C-alpha cells in the first residue's frame, strides 16, 4: 500500500498504459481520478477496478486539448476528491503518420495542443494548487523513446515527446524547492490501440522486434511499475529524470 492516503490523477486512462497505471495505483491504496474524452470507456474501467479495489477510482470526462475542460477537471478534483498529489500526464494523440514535410497544419496544431500544451496546463493546475496548500507532489509525464531519438514517419509526434522531456527537466528545477518532483517515462513499443498500426503490421513491428534485445514489444502493465515507483515516496530523491522502458531497444544497434 505504497500510495495509501494519496490522490492521483491519470489522463488517458480509459485504456492502454493509462488504465494499467490507474489499476496499479488503486492496488497501492491511492484514490485515482481517471480522465479521457469519452465517459463510457472511463466508467467501464472505473467499474472494473472498483470491483477489485472498492471506491478507489473516479471517472471524469476531459479533452486535454481544451483549456476550459482542463480547468473544470482540476476544480472538480480538488472540490470533490482532493487536490491530486500525483499527476500522470499520459493522454496523447498522433493523428498523422507519414513524411514530416507533408504534415497537415491541422495535425501539427492538434498534436502540440494535446501532447504539449495539455500536459503543461495539467501540471500548472496541479502545481499551483499544491504550492498554495503547502503539499509535496509527484508529476509523471509519459513521453516516448521517440522523444529521445529520430522518429521517421512520426516526426511531429516525436517533437512533442521531446518537448515533454524538456518540460520535465525545466519544471523539476523550478518546482524542486516546493518539493514537487517531475519525472518522465519513455516507453518503447507497447501493445495498445495507439500502437495498433505498428503492432498489427508485421513490416513495421518486425523492425522493432528484430532490434529489441528482448525480441518483443511490451504490455501496458510493464509500464505501470515505474509509475508506481515515481509516484511513491520510494523515489523521494528522484526528479528531472527520464526512465526508458523499452526492452533495451534504443541501446541496441
Ligand atoms: N503504445 C505505445 O507503443 C507507446 C509508446 C511510447 C509512448 N506511448 C505514450 O503512451 C501514452 C498512452 O498511450 P497508449 O498507447 O496507452 O494509448 P491508448 O491505449 O490509445 O490510450 C490513449 C488514451 O488517451 C485518451 N485520449 C486520447 N486523446 C485524448 C485527448 N485529446 N484528451 C483526453 N484523453 C485523450 C484515450 O481515451 P479517449 O478516446 O476516451 O479520449 C485513451 O484513454 C501516450 O502518451 C503515448 O504517446 C505509447
Inside any domain, residue 57: yes
Query: Nine-digit cell at 116?
Result: 504539449
Quickly state the pLDDT bin for 92 (edges 50, 70, 90). very high
Residue 219 pLDDT exceeds 90: yes
Inside any domain, residue 218: yes
Range of the domain at 231: 7-246
Inside any domain, residue 32: yes
Inside any domain, residue 16: yes
Inside any domain, residue 1: no
Residue 155 pLDDT exceeds 80: yes
217 Cα nearest atom in ligand 1: 3
Inside any domain, residue 203: yes
> Which residue among 96, 119, 146, 157 is the active-site one?
157
Mean pLDDT of all residues in 203-221: 97
DSSP label at residue 178: G
CATH of the domain at 42: 3.40.50.720
Strands 180-187, 137-142: pairing kind? parallel
Summarised one tens digit per residue, pLDDT across range 159-181 is 999 999 999 999 999 999 999 99
Q: How many domains does the chain have?
A: 1
Mean pLDDT of all residues in 49-54: 98
Summarised one tens digit per residue, pLDDT across range 107-131 is 999 999 999 999 999 999 999 999 9
190 Cα nearest atom in ligand 1: 3
Inside any domain, residue 252: no
Inside any domain, residue 2: no
Is residue 249 part of the annotated active site? The answer reads no
Mutate to test the pocket of ligand 1, among 38, 92, 247 (most ligand atoms within 8 A of CB): 92
* 3-class DSSP state of 31: strand
Quickly state the pLDDT bin for 88 (edges 50, 70, 90). very high
Burial of residue 5, with CB atoms counted within 10 A of its CB: 0-12 exposed, 13-18 middle, 19 or more buried = exposed
**What integer pLDDT is reported at residue 253 of this predicted model?**
73
Summarised one tens digit per residue, pLDDT across range 59-68 is 999 999 999 9
Amino acid at each position: 500500500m505504497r500510495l495509501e492516503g494519496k490522490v492521483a490523477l491519470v489522463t488517458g486512462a480509459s485504456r492502454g498504459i493509462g488504465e494499467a497505471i490507474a489499476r496499479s495505483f488503486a492496488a497501492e491504496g491511492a484514490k485515482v481520478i481517471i480522465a479521457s474524452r469519452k465517459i463510457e470507456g472511463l466508467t467501464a474501467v472505473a467499474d472494473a477496478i472498483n470491483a477489485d479495489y472498492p471506491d478507489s477510482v473516479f471517472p471524469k470526462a476531459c479533452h486535454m486539448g481544451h483549456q476550459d475542460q482542463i480547468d473544470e477537471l482540476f476544480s472538480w478534483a480538488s472540490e470533490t476528491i482532493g487536490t491530486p498529489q500525483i499527476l500522470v500526464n499520459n493522454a496523447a494523440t498522433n493523428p498523422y503518420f507519414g513524411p514530416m514535410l507533408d504534415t497537415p497544419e491541422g495535425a501539427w496544431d492538434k498534436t502540440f495542443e494535446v501532447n504539449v500544451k495539455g500536459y503543461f496546463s495539467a501540471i500548472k493546475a496541479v502545481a499551483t494548487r499544491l504550492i498554495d496548500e503547502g503539499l509535496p507532489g509527484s508529476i509523471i509525464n509519459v513521453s516516448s523513446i521517440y522523444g529521445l531519438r529520430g522518429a521517421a514517419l512520426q516526426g511531429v509526434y516525436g517533437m512533442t515527446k521531446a518537448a515533454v522531456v524538456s518540460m520535465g527537466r525545466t519544471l523539476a528545477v523550478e518546482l524542486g524547492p516546493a518539493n514537487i518532483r517531475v519525472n518522465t517515462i519513455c516507453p518503447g513499443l507497447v501493445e495498445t490501440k495507439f500502437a495498433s498500426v505498428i503492432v498489427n503490421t508485421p513490416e513495421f513491428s518486425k523492425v522493432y522486434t528484430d532490434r529489441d534485445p528482448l525480441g518483443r514489444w511490451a504490455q501496458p502493465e510493464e509500464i505501470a511499475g515505474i509509475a508506481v515507483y515515481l509516484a511513491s515516496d520510494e523515489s523521494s530523491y528522484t526528479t528531472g529524470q527520464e526512465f526508458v522502458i523499452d526492452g533495451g531497444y534504443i541501446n541496441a544497434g
